Amino acid sequence: MDRAFIIVKYGDNQEAIFNPWCTSHNLLEWIRRKCNCEDDVVLDLVDQEGQVLNLAGRLKDYACQLVSGRETYILIRVERQSDNGALHYTSLLNNLEDINPDLMRNKIEQSLSAPHKEQEQI
């Protein structure tokens, strides 16, 4: 288990460093504060391969068990579609399609094909 920091990218190609040696809830709250996200937004992270971490669904688990130290993650907003209940992911890193087009394509494909579990509200 790697206790090292993680890097979260958001906004206009901004980066912030976080210590994941805490619960997922605490990590998401620190990310919310540092990245100036509103309280009613459900946040999560996606890795460089497009895998959504589902931190919001595992709030009591230690984040260090769900992330890899020294890795870079993209901050995303998670919304449930009202018509079919599917989850929709929106990158909170502006111009993700320009910065990493493969990641954006992978994330979209996963959001369309993967089954989604209920997420706890933060």
Residue 102 is predicted with a pLDDT of 74
Q: Are 76 and 89 in contact, with CB atoms under 8 Å apart?
A: yes
Assess if residue 13 is contained within a domain.
yes
Query: What integer pLDDT is reported at residue 74 of this predicted model?
Result: 93
Residue 24 lies in a domain: yes
pLDDT for 78 equals 92
What pLDDT score was predicted for residue 117?
44
pLDDT given at position 84: 80
Taking the model in full, what pTM does it have?
0.81
Q: Which residues pair with 59 in a beta bridge?
A: none
What's the average pLDDT block by block, 10 residues per block, for the chain (122 residues)? 82 95 97 96 92 94 94 93 83 82 62 43 30
In a domain, 102, yes or no: yes
- Domain span holding position 84: 6-113
CATH number at residue 54: 3.10.20
Q: Which residues pair with 72 in a beta bridge?
A: 7
Asked whether residue 120 is domain-assigned, the answer is no
pLDDT score, position 15: 96
User: How many other C-beta atoms can be found within 10 angstroms of the C-beta atom of residue 33?
Assistant: 10
Query: Structural domain tally of the chain?
Result: 1
